[in-house]
Each structure stands twice: as structure tokens, then as C-alpha cells.
A and B are shown apart, each in its own frame.
Chain A
Amino acid sequence: MGTYVVRRTLFAIPTLLAISFIIFAILDLAPGDPTSQLPLTIPVEVRERILESLGVNDPFLIKWLKWMQLMFINEPLHAIDSIFGTCIGDCEARARIISWSSRAPAIDVIYQRIPQTLWVLGLAFIFGTLIAIPVGIISAYKQYSAFDNIGTFVTMIGFSVPTFFTGLLAIVIFSVWLGWFPSFYDTTLVVNSWDSFVLQVKQMIMPVAVLTLFNAAVLSRFTRASVLDNLNEDYVRTARSKGLGENKVVLTHVMRNSLIPVVTLLALSVPGIFAGAIITEQIFRINGLGQLLIVAIGQGDIPMVQTLTFIFAVLIVVFNLVADITYGLLDPRIRYD
């Protein structure tokens, strides 16, 4: 297993390099102008001056190599400096990846977004999982019962109805008609008292609920299918005939085996938390990482798009590896060399 991990990690490096090159190439070839949102009256010389100052007109390889140096050397050094309070090399004048629309270091802007993304989407992920697994297990155990049929119906709705519909519906019912919850998410809210905590909960309920419904729907179907598979296995019959109670059979033996693929699935969907549910973020104005990506694309802010997509790529590669390792750990039948 150790060799496997090392080999996969080493493999990840050229993979990520290739990914960064492809992302860079696509974005560089794509049209899109960071000055397209300026008033049309801005004279052409001024536009050209702005583009020149942003480095838009440099040749492709120069831009890529520059970005690589900033991303793989300068940014990690900056991170180490700020975490440990050190000053490595020329820490004052160190160049960083600068976003074209906000002229701020891209990594700092991304870092600012992480709290709201993690809170809302992370919670939705956790709640979705906590709801989906029991529902899936019970649905499979009591296949075709009333619980199963209702569960199927609800989950069908959950993943067929798009989040922008459920989100808007929630806003109309709870914000407009009832006035219980705010319709947008205030990122500057500091939780330091009971009142602000209540406010934080209030502004999180709707987006978390909408996303939980969606996550739970998908996951519960999958769990149900996995449990159904295992309920027909021989070892279950053996366990029953040995006299084990149903609880023990299901909760100890069946659940553990069914959860193996489910856990790997969960590991693979963690990068999805960071990419954010872009539509839901827009609906509730959560302004997380997904919204940042969309806005940056629309504004032609290439450095931000590159940095974000590369970070997502790294997360996917890493969690792919985590999923494989988890699978190998949980299922003793799987052996990597």
C-alpha cells in the first residue's frame, strides 16, 4: 500500500503540470477582455494602456512560466511566512498572483471566501450524508414498503428539481410571505453573541436546506442500491442462520459493507464542496468560491480563473487518491501492490 501511495503521489505531479498547462492554454486562447466592462467612452489608448499594465499582451509561454513560478514558489513561501511569522528571502517585495479586476492577490481573495463556502456547503454535505445513509438503509431493508415508496418519491423530486427552483421557492415562501429568514447571506456577520448566532443560523437555514435536499437525494439512492446488493449476499444468510439479531445483521455487517462504495463516493465529492454549488450561491448571494469563479470568468479575470481552477484540480487529484486509499483500507479484498 505504501508503494502504491508514493507512486500515485509522484504520478500526480506531471498530471497537475499538464492540467495547469491545459487550463492556461484554454484561457489564453479564449477571447474575453478585462476592460469590457469599462464605459465605451474610454479612449482606445487608455484601454491599451490598462491591458499592457496587466500583462495581457505578453507571449503565452512567458505568461505560463511566470504563473508557475508565482504559484509554486512565491505563493507557498508567502503562506509559510504568514502562518509562521517568518520572513524567507525577500518577503517584502515578493510578487504574487494579482487578480485583474480587484488588483488584490488572488489567493487572499480565495482564502476570504472559504468560511462561507465551507459553512454552508460543508454543513449541507454533512447533513445530507447524515440523512441519506439511514434513509437509504431503511429503504433498502424495507424494500417496496410505504417508507421506501415515499422515500423514492421525495428523492426523485430532490434531485430532479433544480436548486434554483427550490431556492427561489424557499425565498418566496420564507422571506417574502412569512418574513422569517433573510433572503441573502451577510458575509460580514461576526458571531460573538447569542443574537448574532441566531442571525447566522437564520441566514444559513434556507441554503443549507436546499442543498441538503439535493445531496441527500442523490446519496440515499446510491446507499439504497448498495445495501440492496449486500442484503442478498450469502454472508447475510449465514449471519441470520447463526442466530444474530436483525439489528446486528443490518447495522454491523450489512451497513459496513454497503458503506464502502458510499464512503469512496463521499471522498470524491468533497472537492465539489469547494467548487461550491454555483447556482445556489447566486440565488442566496452567498458569495463563495463558486460565485467568485463565475464573476471572474465574466470579467475576463484570467489570473483568478487560473488559480481557482488549478486549486480545484489539485483537490480533485488529491481526493481521488484519498478515495482509492479509503477503498483499499475499508475492503480487505482490495490490494494494491
Chain B
Amino acid sequence: MKRTRLLALLAVLAMVVAACGGGDGEETTTTADGGSDGPTTTAGETPEPTDPPAGGAAGEGGPLLILQWQAVSQVNVLLSSGTKDALAASLVLEPLAEIGPDGSLVPALATEIPTVDNGGVTEDFTSITWNLRDDVLWSDGTPFTADDVLFTYEYCADELTGCQADFSQIESIDVVDDHTVTLNFSAPKPYPYDDFVTYLEPVIQRAQFADCVGEQASACTEQNFNPVGTGPYVVTELLPEDTVTYAMNENYRGVPDGKPFFGTVTIKGGGDAEASARSVLEIGEADYAWNLQVAPEILAPMEAAGNGTIVTSFTANVEHINLNQTDPDADPPSEWTPDGATAHPVLANNPEFSRALSLAIDRDAIVTVGYGPAGVSTCTLWPVEGQATTNQDWCLTRDVAAANQILDDLGYLDTDNDGVREAEGFGPLEFDFVTSTNAVRQATQDVVKANWEEIGVVANMSNQDAGLFFDGTSASDFSIWKFFADMEMFTNGATIPDPSAYLLSWITDQIPTGALGWPATGNMPRMSIPEYDETWATLSQTAPTDPAYTDLVIQLQDIMIEGGAIIPLTYRGNVSAIRSDIQGLGDPNGWDSEYWIIEEWTRSG
């Protein structure tokens, strides 16, 4: 009896542990019979695609299956918490203009892109007037008007809504008539195209969302799960963190031309990137797989199976190392002050040291090991074609001898012959090097650590869970903003091809400090270079069409890299896999939704 009880106890323990899965899961994310009875959150019970309209063959193409391993949470991109939701929304909601794969603007709900030349933008850059298409209907059949644009602004302007779109630079919106709307800015904006542009800031319908502004926003589940849109599809069912299914939008303006081709679309989430790649490339059971952060040695053999191809889209994502210009061991740690009292004893204002570190890194090895065709070595944080600086390309050629020479000249000698150089007053050149938990990032850390050992610098590697590393509240001590380490590595990226808005992140005003409560502002390395601040101020007032514009952008990049607080490593692209028989995708688009022309997709054969 006693023995049985003991056995039972042990077995219970075993079962409890076993029930939890009995293994360690590597991948993060972050993550039967369909019809749901009882309390549900689905809206619009139309699982069957309707008959194609009499005019054309729209919707005849059958189903399309897309795999987004980071599952969709909801379809109202304005309240969303990530790119995955924005992508799901992009089949339904549309902005005034989209950005094409080459970074140029493409009108969507607008008829043309306003510029100073065509009178759409005022000469002092304080307002922009969009002319809207008059042939656009919402999916419920009502016409799309400028009033909906005004409503979207009001929806986001209400602080209690929790909208992730930033319309703070708009002072007011004038609805001139049903198809003309003017945005008035509070200060001149030479690049006025970041409002209502791209899949992150689409227009929503006033009639549907009227009661959902402010505090009510979260309670409007039906609207958030099935927003009325002008795009080629409507949501038929949303299972959060799982699957979204769409049917063709009967009122879509492309229907008379036979678009969209596919009658239904399903975006299925769950699993990890490798499983998604396998489904498309090896098994051929899905048509498209998004965001394949998979090591090249695993992806390449999958592509060789012949069922599909890998496409990479590049925008402005650069994996880089930040060198903390403040001292993480001071008290309080990493707190920047204008007088430089808390400057890092070795890394601050030491561009020569930074140059040595950069010269010693084997960037090509990093690309081979971690990125494959999805990565290109780079020496700047804005590698966009036509605006990238070439003055820093010295970093592409690894030169350990020159790096050692620089360190010798700086006086960092290895006095005790233990292979590690010392700096006066600081001791051995040992630094804490942190990044997020991710196989590719850890592989990069390994390469960098080995490279730096050849010049007598030691990097103590560690990694943190992405949820903590990118924690923008002040709760986590491991966040990139608090930067309680000597060096950190991650990727910054721009959401629009506007270098001025992106390079703003590194002016002195953008330094996050504890005194201000650790706001999630962009200048994590805490660099403070007056020349950079002044040049940026000039750039922010220069129109993109001004001949001096590109020179200013290049100048800013040079100041940043020569300042030494940032070491760029790899220009990263977004990797997706497509089944061979899917046509019509065009060039891969990293700036906007990867499904931005989904109405043009067809299946051959």
C-alpha cells in the first residue's frame, strides 16, 4: 500500500513533468472541426466563396495558402502589435499610397503622388493635398470618401485608443470635398509621405469604427477582427494566434479586370520558420512562407528540392554593434550627462579604437554562417542605393595587422603577455557583449569574439530573451535602451525610405536616460556629436529634390561611422519562400507589405 502510494506520487510527478512537454523548445514567438459554437469572436459566417461576378474571372483561381509562422493576432493594424498583423491587414485595408520595392511611392487609394511640382505639396512643406480615387467602394458597398481619412486620424489621435500609428506631426485635416483631403502639419516636413502611406497606416471606415474610438477600441472585437476595407479580400474567419481566412471582396475595384485571381486566402500561423520553409519548399503543401529566419545551410538544400524559390527583399535593416559611450559600471549605470562625467573609460570618444575593432571583424564569415543570400556586408547604417556612403568601405576588407598597429599606437599593450591588451586606468580590454537569443545572432557573436581575440580584445558574450531585450517599458534591465553593458548588437530598420526620419535617432536629444524614465528613444549608444546634430537639423529642412540632399545624407553617415559609436555588420534582407507555380509577385518588396500586389498573383498550370 505504502509502496503503491510512493510509486503513485513519483509517477504523478513524472506525468506532470511529462505533460509539460518533456523537452526544451528552441524557437520562440515569438506563436479540429472548424465551425465554432457558443461564444465566438468571428464575424461574418461566409466560409464558401461566392460565385464570380458576371463581368470577369475574378476569384476563379482557388485557394491560396500562406504560412506566417508568427501567427496573426488580429487584423486591425492600427491596434496591432507587430508586422504579422499588418501583413494580414494588408489584404483588406489600403493606405493612400504604397511604397514599391525600389523605395518609390505608388498611389493606392490616391490618384497620384502629390509633389511640390504638381502643387500637391505647398512650397513651405507645411501641408499636402491628396486627390483620392472616386471609383473605390468599401467592401459593404458604400463609397470611400475623404471623410474616412479624417476619421482614421481622429481614431488614432485619441490617446485612449492605443493606436500605433504616429500622426502627431499633423495639426489638422481639411476635407476639401469627397475626394480631396489636405493634411496640415504643425512644422515644415520636407518628406511629407509618412502619414497614410504603407500597410502600417491604412484608412478605416468611419461607419464601422465610429463607436470604437478611445476606450471602446479594445471592446470592438468584431470590428477589429473583420475590418471593412477597400482591398481585394474580406476576412471570413479569424482564429487569433492561429489562422485567418479570407474570401474575395465583391466590391473590389479590380474585379471587372478579373482580379484578384485567388478566390480564398488562408494565412496559417504556428510552428517555426524552418517548418514553414519545409512546407513550401520540400513538401509543397503551401504556397508562400514569410520571414524565414533560417540558417543558410538548412535553407539551401530545401530550395534544391525544386518545389519553390527563396526571395529576399532589402530595405534598410542593418545588424550592427553599439559601443556604449557611457559607463555601465558607473552608479547609476549608463546614465548620460552633458558634461561627459559618466563617459566610458575606453569606448567613449575613441574612434581609432572603434576602427580597430571594425577592421578585425570578418564580415564575410558572418554572412556565410548566418545569412547566406539574405545578408550583405556593409559599412553604413543607411545602405539604401543612391544614398549610401562609400567613404567607409575600408571596413569591408579585413586587416588584422592594421588593427593591431592601431591598438599599439593607442598604447593598449599586452604588458603581462596573457594575450589580452590592457588600457591604462581600465585594465584588460574585456567587454560585455549582449544580444538577443537567436541562433544567427549567437553565431555572429562567436565569429566576432574569435576575430577580436586575434587583436587582444576579449568579448564576454551573453544573450537575452527577445521579449526582455526589446522591452520598451522600463521594466527590464536587459533592454537595449538601458544598455547596461559595454556592447550590444541588434538590427534597426526604417519603415519608410526617408533617411532624415531614420537618422534622427542618433541626435543628442534622442539619448534615453534614467532621469527621463528610460524612454524608448533611438540613440542607444548615447553618441553626442554636435556636428551630427547640426547636419541633421539642416537635412530635416531640406527637400528630397534639393541637389544637396544626397550629399547631406552621405555626410551624416560619415560623421556617424567616423564617430566610432556604431560598427555596422550586415545589411539584412527579409527572406520568403514561394511555390514555383505562383506568378505575378514582381520584385520582392521589403518597404511595404509583401502581399502589396496580391491581386496580381496567379497560379500557372
Contact = CB atoms under 8 A, between A and B. Distances in A.
Interface of A: 31-54, 56, 78-79, 82-83, 95, 98-105, 107-109, 111-113, 115-116, 118-120, 159, 162-164, 171, 175-176, 179, 182-184, 186-191, 200, 204, 214, 218, 222, 225-226, 229, 261, 264-265, 268-269, 271-272, 275, 277-287, 290-296, 298-300, 333
Nearest to A175: B283
Contacts of A164: 23, 25
Given A56-B473, A188-B243, A291 B164 contact: no
A196 to B, nearest CB: 9
B40 A163 contact: no
B23 A163 contact: yes
Given A33-B471, A33-B473, A275-B20, A103 B11 contact: no
Nearest to A182: B285
Nearest to B200: A39
Given A39-B495, A283-B271, 6 more contacts: A38-B164, A53-B159, A102-B224, A188-B34, A283-B275, A298-B29
Interface string B219-252: 1010011000000000001011111010000000
6 contacts: A41-B501, A54-B162, A101-B74, A103-B218, A112-B36, A200-B33
A99 B240 contact: yes
B493 A41 contact: yes
Interface of B: 1, 3-5, 7-8, 11-12, 14-16, 18-23, 25, 27-36, 38-41, 47, 67, 71, 73-74, 76, 79, 81-83, 159-166, 168, 200, 215, 217-219, 221, 224-225, 237, 239-243, 245, 266, 268-272, 275, 278-279, 282-283, 285, 466-468, 470-473, 475-478, 492-495, 501-502, 519-522
Contacts of B162: 49-50, 52-54
B502 A41 contact: yes
A229 B4 CA distance: 8
A295 B15 contact: no
A287 B239 contact: yes
B475 A31 contact: yes
Contacts of B217: 53, 103
Contact of B47 (A102, A179, A190): A190
A44 B472 CA distance: 8
B283 A176 contact: yes
Contacts of A108: 39-41, 221
A35 B34 contact: no
Contacts of A298: 28-31, 466-467
B201 to A, nearest CB: 12
Contacts of A189: 32-34
A282 B25 contact: yes
A277 B285 CA distance: 24
Residue among B5, B165, B282, B466 with most chain A CB within 10 A = B282
Contacts of B471: 31-33, 36, 300
Contact of B7 (A39, A98, A261, A279): A261
A291 B255 CA distance: 38
Contacts of B495: 39, 41
A278 B520 contact: no
B81 A104 contact: no
Contact of A111 (B38, B245, B275): B38
List of 7 A-B pairs having minimum Cβ-Cβ separation, nearest first: A272-B19, A53-B162, A294-B31, A291-B31, A31-B476, A295-B31, A285-B270
Contacts of B28: 298
B484 to A, nearest CB: 13
A34 B73 CA distance: 12
Contacts of A52: 159-160, 162
A34 B218 CA distance: 14
B39 A78 contact: yes
Contact of A33 (B30, B275, B472): B472
A261 B15 CA distance: 13
Given A50-B162, A79-B39, A183 B285 contact: yes
B522 A34 contact: no
